[in-house]
Amino acid sequence: MASAVVMATSPPFTLDAGTAFSLAVAFSLMPSAQILAAYALPKSAPRKLYLLFLWHAYDFLTHFIIEGSFLYHCFFSYAQLPPQTADVSHPASWGGEPQAYLFNRPDRRYGALYSQGPMARLWQEYAKADRRWGGADLNVISLEILTVGLAGPAAVYICYLVSKIANTTDENIKSRCQSRLWFTAIILATGELYGGFMTFAPEWLSGSNALASDDPVYLWLYLVFFNMLWVFIPFLILYAGFQEISTAFAIKSPSAKKTR
């Protein structure tokens, strides 16, 4: 008989020292991105370039610092389960149906829940809203490997291209960097949207058992606000990329050349 599904339950939101630290880390990344933008871009940079740099700086800081720490704790933080005895079965079998385990180690439990590190505390806090992030959910880990390994460097590259465009007067360099910028930005925005969908779609399809939506802070701040940023802004970037492509093709069209 299949085991019963246990819905996620979390203690009510409390602003203790650990929670304050976690939120401070999360909200410190945008000011950090603004400092990077002030350093990398001239004051005369067009607003569109400034916003592109600002978002992608915030993006790679989030991927490397916050999500990178998630992967670290998934791979290196764990609790060793006690061995099986003659009268007590192995604890790995207590969860009901057999399942896949990280590194095929059913005798261990990996994840931020099993660490005392400061960044582990951040993920322990977020896991109150989505408990998958406290352990080593293989679907989430797979997505985060791509996010940290590919999306993070892509965001750094976009910031480099924006800085290059904003700090040069050479039109040839600007043209080359513009094409690379929008090509990379469109790919990254598409990947961010796909990653967000694949993070939550399996959970929605299985009844949202890992999500704790009964507390308004967990629902609206942790689940909605922190995740919807990576929905709305990638869509805006895709729209801006569409405009850039449309303009480029319009300039090259025969009718446009005749009117010039």
Q: Is the pTM of this model over 0.85?
A: yes
Q: Which of 47-51, 192-196, 246-250 has the lowest mean pLDDT?
A: 246-250
Q: At 84, which amino acid appears?
A: Q
**Whether 42 contacts 166, CB under 8 Å:** yes
Local confidence band at 198 (pLDDT 50, 70, 90 cut-offs): very high
Q: Which of 27-31, 233-237, 245-249, 255-259 has the lowest mean pLDDT?
A: 255-259
How many angstroms separate the CA atoms of 30 and 226, rounded?
12
Which structure tokens are listed for 229?
Answer: 């940023």
Local confidence band at 86 (pLDDT 50, 70, 90 cut-offs): low
Average pLDDT over residues 18-33: 96
How many angstroms separate the CA atoms of 223 and 219, rounded?
5
Cα pseudo-dihedral 114, 117, 122, 127, rounded to 10: 0
Q: Which contiguous run of DSSP H or E holds residue 78?
A: strand 78-80
Q: Give me the chain's average pLDDT, please.
A: 88
Segment 69-80, tens digit of pLDDT? 999 999 999 999
Average pLDDT over residues 19-23: 94
How many angstroms separate the CA atoms of 136 and 99, rounded?
12
Segment 103-128, tens digit of pLDDT? 888 888 999 999 999 999 999 999 99
Percentage of residues in the chain with pLDDT exceeding 70? 87
Local confidence band at 197 (pLDDT 50, 70, 90 cut-offs): very high
How many angstroms separate the CA atoms of 122 and 172, rounded?
45
Helix, strand and coil content of the chain, in percent to the nearest 5, comes to: 70, 5, 25
- pLDDT, position 58: 98
Average pLDDT over residues 33-48: 96
Contacts 24+ apart (CB under 8 A), 136-144: 136/74, 136/102, 136/109, 136/110, 136/111, 138/100, 138/102, 139/198, 139/199, 139/202, 140/199, 141/71, 141/74, 141/102, 143/195, 143/198, 143/199, 144/67, 144/70, 144/71, 144/74
- pLDDT, position 47: 96
Average pLDDT over residues 125-138: 93
- pLDDT, position 257: 54
